[in-house]
Amino acid sequence: WDLETQLSNALEQGDLVLAYQPKLALPDLEIAGCEALMRWNRPDAGNVPPEIFIDLAEMTGQIDPLTRFAFHRAFRQLGEWPKFLGPIGVAVNVTPSIVCNPDLVDAIQAAASSCSVGLERLTVEVTENALMSDRERSHRVLSRLRELGVRVSIDDFGTGHSSLAYFKQIPADELKIDKSFVMNMMADESDARIVEQVIALGHAFGLKVVAEGVETAEVAARLAAIGCDCVQGFHFAKPLAPRDFPAWA
């Protein structure tokens, strides 16, 4: 109850911010883009983890303004970063209720045009479960976004409830292998095999494959060896404050 009230004030007070974690292309580790991750800094009470406040926002109807804020802030950020970064793209996460809502398309278009950013610089990340909650509507929204040039990424792949029957018609450009498989792949050969086969599956369907949760150089090297397209994780960078991103780059 307390958090719910605080969350509605947090947006207005500027306590919700985006951190940016780089996505790097293998094998050269060029910056392929970044993922915007929302953080809630409570001045006197410490941070609330995103798993908690995003779920809370989804349950209390506050996810809509939060998502609009994320798109707008992320687009604005692209315009604020120094030119040497080039026209890098940004990925924004959307929840189950949002991906089924046709208003998403208008909100994204409005945010992009008010910041003069092309839609081809945006990736929308959506989990398998979000897609499965209302297949028809999410399919329609994502297909429309792709027509406009937005990339679609299936997040946390391998942990949700999608089936192969649905997979073959998923309107997506990218698969992100869930970090639970990636983090363990040097210790657990089963995880390594899953990662390898998901890469093959993604490529068979013309998708780029990203491994998230890359925490060591060994994992990065192995991913490069088995043909993964992109890596993201603490080994390269934690989610960074906006001004730290160009410094890191």
Judged by the rule CB under 6 A, the positions of this chain that interact with ligand G are 21, 37, 50, 93, 155-156, 179, 212-215, 233-234, 239
Does residue 155 interact with Mn ion by CB under 5 A? Answer: yes
Does residue 93 interact with Mn ion by CB under 5 A? Answer: yes
Rounded distance between C-alpha atoms, residue 26 and residue 19, angstroms:
23
Name residue 232's amino acid: Q
Considering the complex, state which of residue 6 and residue 31 has its C-beta at the smaller distance from Mn ion: 31
Considering the complex, state which of residue 125 and residue 174 has its C-beta at the smaller distance from Mn ion: 125
Considering the complex, state which of residue 118 and residue 130 has its C-beta at the smaller distance from ligand G: 130
The residue number with the shortest CB distance to ligand G is 233
Give burial (CB, 10 Å; 0-12/13-18/19+) of 143: exposed
Q: Which does 179 bind (CB under 5 to 8 A by kind): ligand G, Mn ion, none?
A: ligand G
Provide the angle, in degrees to the nearest 10, between the axes of the packed helices 2-13 and 63-80: 30
Q: Which does 191 bind (CB under 5 to 8 A by kind): ligand G, Mn ion, none?
A: none
Considering the complex, state which of residue 179 and residue 208 has its C-beta at the smaller distance from ligand G: 179
CB of 12 to Mn ion, least distance (A): 26
Q: Which does 166 bind (CB under 5 to 8 A by kind): ligand G, Mn ion, none?
A: none
Q: How far is CA 107 from the centre of its chain?
A: 18
CB of 212 to Mn ion, least distance (A): 7
Considering the complex, state which of residue 109 and residue 249 has its C-beta at the smaller distance from ligand G: 249
Does residue 178 interact with Mn ion by CB under 5 A? Answer: no
Question: How many residues touch Mn ion (CB under 5 A)?
Answer: 3
CB of 37 to Mn ion, least distance (A): 7
Name residue 218's amino acid: E
CB of 127 to ligand G, least distance (A): 7
Considering the complex, state which of residue 62 and residue 127 has its C-beta at the smaller distance from Mn ion: 127
Residue of 20, 81, 94, 125 that binds Mn ion (CB under 5 A):
125
Considering the complex, state which of residue 196 and residue 215 has its C-beta at the smaller distance from ligand G: 215
CB of 239 to ligand G, least distance (A): 5
Which residues of the shown chain bind Mn ion in the complex (CB under 5 A)?
A: 93, 125, 155
